[in-house]
Amino acid sequence: MITNLTDSETTWARKIWISYWYIIGVQLLAQLFSYLFLPYDAQVVEFYYYVLLFPTLKMSATVGLAWIVNKFFRKYSFYTLVVAGTILAILIIRLNTDIRIISALFLLPILVSVIFYRSRLTLFSAILQLLGFIFLYFGDESYRSHLSDFDLVAIPCFIGACTLLAINIMSRGRELQEALLTTMTAKQELMIQYAIMRKQAQIDSLTHLYNQASFYEHFDMALTYSGERSSSFFLALLDIDNFKTINDTFGHLIGDVVLSRVAQIIKETISSNDIAARYGGEEFALLLFETDVARAIKLVETIRTTVSGTKHEEMAGKVVTISIGIASYEPGMSKETLFEKADKKLYKAKNSGKNRTVT
């Protein structure tokens, strides 16, 4: 059963309806031009009433009525397009029976059906054209008199051959459509895989923070941005205290659990604009884009106190602590200078009792 038109098919159907009106207009102008400028065997009244006016009204009524049916009965949209095209072709052929090639207009509805890539619609259209040819042949003496015995065989064969060609064109079109869809799907999969691989290349697999390489990329961008706008940001280096002892006492698997837990606290504390990375074994680096030093210090202190207040069941309820060194970027400062500045503050925090922040 033929279904309703899709949005795309509706757009093309609208173009076909417009084309039908265009065909009527061209036919009218062609008849008028022939009468005015070419030898034409018809009287004025006969021409204007029986060649120009009445046939044009019939064609207009056919297209108009079919359009109304299409408007209110959407499930017959395909049928109304094809039937209207067939009647239009019959009326024009009947009006121009002396033009032998005019029978090629039977192809009009077949071409219309091809636009929608529906083989059943094309077959329906072909059968309709054969019936139209039979109707004209037996119902119109003028048309029959202009056909030879060869035409009687050639025209149905021509309709059949063009129908077969139309079906083959649609089959080829579907193959190309499927090939394009396959290519697009493969491309999307490659893009997804690339995105996953890129993310994996940037993210530390254990902590799910940025790794050192991607941290440096963000570090460079932060320096460039701040240098251009004379703005500031903060670099904080965090180090888990006595992490070697944790590994030696509880094992590296427990050490990995501690690393992951500390990383999770960092992620939950910083803002979406900040950058957090696992810089080394038990060391983390943060780029904080806070408005002032007080807020930056408050943020890292929140991380430090949250870590020191978290008990680890894997370590018999013990806690771990972190030491932090934080430095602010000043216009004109190099990456190495800023990092050295923060590293010295971290070193001071480690050597002055640990579990503290040095600014």
Residues with catalytic function = 282
The C-alpha atoms of residue 182 and residue 83 are separated, in whole angstroms, by: 36
- Helix runs in the chain, H state only: 7-37, 44-45, 54-72, 77-95, 107-115, 119-139, 141-145, 149-202, 212-229, 243-250, 252-269, 293-308, 335-351
Quick check: 239 and 283 in contact, CB under 8 A? Answer: yes
The C-alpha atoms of residue 296 and residue 327 are separated, in whole angstroms, by: 10
Residue 105, burial from CB neighbour count under 10 angstroms (0-12, 13-18, 19+): buried
Closest to 76 (Cα-Cα) out of 20, 13, 166: 13
Tokens (6 digits) for 179: 């090939």
Closest to 300 (Cα-Cα) out of 340, 342, 248, 259: 342
The C-alpha atoms of residue 39 and residue 237 are separated, in whole angstroms, by: 98
The C-alpha atoms of residue 46 and residue 30 are separated, in whole angstroms, by: 16
Closest to 233 (Cα-Cα) out of 278, 191, 275: 275
Q: Which residue has the tokens 């290519």?
A: 183
User: Is residue 231 helix, strand or coil?
Assistant: coil
